[in-house]
């Protein structure tokens, strides 16, 4: 998300000069006239320090602090709280929080007290230093206000968007080839989930709902595909429990784990899918939903968090705490072909309302306001 937002922001017609602090070699896309690249060389890259039970070293933070102090900045913007580090107190700062799920469901996020402590310290220090918070939906704003105590008037809302790679395609051969490569049945309808395998994603509940729906004998040709990394990068992962559930006699051979797959393959899989599942107890935005919608794929969606706000009329909603509600939505999506066709048409047009250019324009307007207020 951060890369897409920043790229779109740099491409806007503005008079601003951007200082980009990076800890890896710059890419060709960063070499723009309005960008000043400041490369730092920490002991550990931000991607490693961002996991739940990790932190930056004192030396790394001092190096980053000095790099920012030496630059003529009017504002410091962190596009994700993961990348936050201390900056001079006199420098106005904006930090992006995509949600407050870790604070809302800590027992589902952190496997131990150490991870929870490090995460809490990171977030509290970032909030203590920043003047404003940016987030990606009105539901996320409400969650941040409720669970982190940030005042509503200090939170600005933008959005996310699908990469232009995600689009409708008509290539049955590519679909069959992908199914062979990632071990999916060559025949049958697919309900696809894309994302982490953490408990708050409610995949156990979704699979229980799928098992209940299969009892009707109308879903013999339907399979569930779980796409995502098996480990949790310091956060909880439900992979073991999900695998055990998938081996249950009610679901044997009907649930498939692919691990990580590339965006290029995701485009094909979304287009091949009957529906994409978003069963979470909460989402700050739900980017896989709009990616799938851009491919014309309807959504089987939880009615919690930002999902109703994002999915709109492009999906069927269920109560993620109610297995019967989940089962009913799966059956309706699987058996009512006219409904699926109607939802598919709505999905494409709705996905078109989410663009990174619009998100960047909103973000830049909020950042300009923060810099003026000081």
Lowest mean per-residue pLDDT among 37-41, 88-92, 131-135: 37-41
Confidence at residue 58, expressed as pLDDT on a 0 to 100 scale:
82
pLDDT at 189 over 70: yes
Confidence at residue 55, expressed as pLDDT on a 0 to 100 scale:
65
Map out the domains of the chain with their CATH numbers.
Answer: 2-161+355-373 (3.40.50.2000), 172-351 (3.40.50.2000)
What average pLDDT does the segment 224-241 reach?
82
- Sorted by sequence, the CB contacts under 8 Å of residue 285 that are 6+ apart come out as 98, 99, 136, 137, 140, 159, 160, 306, 310
Strand, helix or coil at 36?
A: strand
> What's the CA gap between 96 and 42, in Å, rounded?
22
Confidence at residue 52, expressed as pLDDT on a 0 to 100 scale:
54
Residue pLDDT, tens place only, 164-185: 999 999 999 999 999 999 999 9
pTM exceeds 0.95 for this model: no
pLDDT at 232 over 70: no
pLDDT at 70 over 60: yes
The residue among 94, 267, 80, 254 whose CA lies nearest residue 166 is 267
Q: Residue 13: what are its φ and ψ, rounded to 5°?
A: -80, 95
pLDDT at 352 over 70: yes
**How sure is the predictor about 25, in pLDDT bands with cuts at 50, 70 and 90?**
confident
**How sure is the predictor about 347, in pLDDT bands with cuts at 50, 70 and 90?**
very high
Confidence at residue 117, expressed as pLDDT on a 0 to 100 scale:
87
Most confident of 37-51, 216-230, 237-251, 264-278: 264-278
Give 281's DSSP letter: S
- CA 288 from centroid of its chain's CA atoms: 7
Identify which has the larger pLDDT, 55 or 119.
119
Residue pLDDT, tens place only, 248-272: 889 999 999 999 999 999 999 999 9
Write down the mean pLDDT value for the chain.
92
**How sure is the predictor about 118, in pLDDT bands with cuts at 50, 70 and 90?**
confident
Quick one: which H or E segment has residue 118?
helix 113-129
- Sorted by sequence, the CB contacts under 8 Å of residue 310 that are 6+ apart come out as 137, 283, 285, 286, 289, 290, 354
Strand locations in 180-326, DSSP E? Answer: 189-194, 222-227, 255-259, 275-278, 299-302, 315-318
Give me the residue label for tokens 């699987």: 334
Confidence at residue 29, expressed as pLDDT on a 0 to 100 scale:
76
pLDDT at 79 over 90: yes
Give me the residue label for tokens 């896309």: 29
Residue pLDDT, tens place only, 319-338: 999 999 999 999 999 999 99
What average pLDDT does the segment 344-354 reach?
97
Token reading at 34: 């309005």
Integer CA distances (angstroms), 223 to 220, 315, 370, in order: 8, 19, 48
Identify which has the larger pLDDT, 35 or 229.
35
Residue pLDDT, tens place only, 265-310: 999 999 999 999 999 999 999 999 999 999 999 999 999 999 999 9
Question: Percentage of residues in the chain with pLDDT exceeding 90?
Answer: 78
Question: Percentage of residues in the chain with pLDDT exceeding 70?
Answer: 96
The sign one gets for the Cα dihedral 135, 111, 261, 258 is negative
């Amino acid at each position: 998300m951060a890369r897409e937002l920043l790229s779109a922001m740099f491409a806007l017609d503005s008079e601003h000069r951007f200082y980009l602090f990076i800890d890896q070699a710059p890419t060709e896309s960063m070499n723009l006239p309005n960008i000043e690249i400041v490369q730092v060389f920490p002991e550990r890259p931000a991607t490693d320090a961002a996991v739940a039970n990790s932190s930056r070293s004192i030396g790394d933070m001092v190096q980053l602090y000095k790099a920012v102090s030496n630059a003529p900045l009017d504002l410091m913007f962190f596009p994700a709280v993961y990348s936050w580090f201390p900056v001079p107190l006199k420098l106005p700062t904006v930090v992006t929080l995509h949600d407050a799920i870790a604070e809302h469901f800590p027992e589902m996020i952190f496997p131990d007290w150490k991870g929870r402590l490090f995460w809490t310290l990171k977030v509290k220090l970032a909030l203590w230093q920043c003047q404003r918070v940016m987030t990606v939906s009105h539901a996320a704003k409400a969650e941040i206000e409720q669970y982190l105590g940030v005042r509503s008037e200090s939170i600005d809302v933008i959005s996310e968007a699908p990469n232009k790679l995600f689009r409708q395609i008509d290539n049955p051969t590519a679909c069959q080839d992908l199914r062979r490569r990632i071990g999916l049945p060559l025949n049958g309808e697919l309900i696809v989930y894309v994302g982490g395998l953490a408990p708050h994603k409610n995949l156990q509940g979704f699979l229980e709902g799928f098992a209940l729906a299969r009892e009707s004998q109308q879903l013999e040709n339907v399979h569930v595909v779980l796409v995502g990394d098996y480990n949790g990068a310091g956060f909880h992962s439900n992979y073991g429990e999900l695998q055990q559930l998938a081996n249950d006699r009610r679901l044997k051979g009907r649930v498939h784990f692919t691990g990580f797959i590339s965006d290029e393959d995701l485009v094909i899989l979304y287009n091949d899918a009957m529906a994409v599942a978003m069963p979470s107890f909460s989402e700050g935005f739900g980017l896989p939903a709009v990616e799938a919608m851009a491919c014309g794929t309807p959504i089987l969606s939880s009615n919690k968090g930002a999902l109703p706000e994002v999915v709109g009329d492009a999906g069927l909603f269920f109560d993620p705490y109610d297995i019967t509600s989940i089962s009913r939505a799966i059956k309706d999506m699987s058996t009512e072909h006219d409904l699926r066709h109607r939802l598919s048409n709505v999905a494409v047009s709705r996905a078109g309302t989410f663009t990174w250019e619009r998100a960047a324009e909103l973000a830049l307007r909020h950042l300009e306001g923060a810099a003026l207020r000081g």
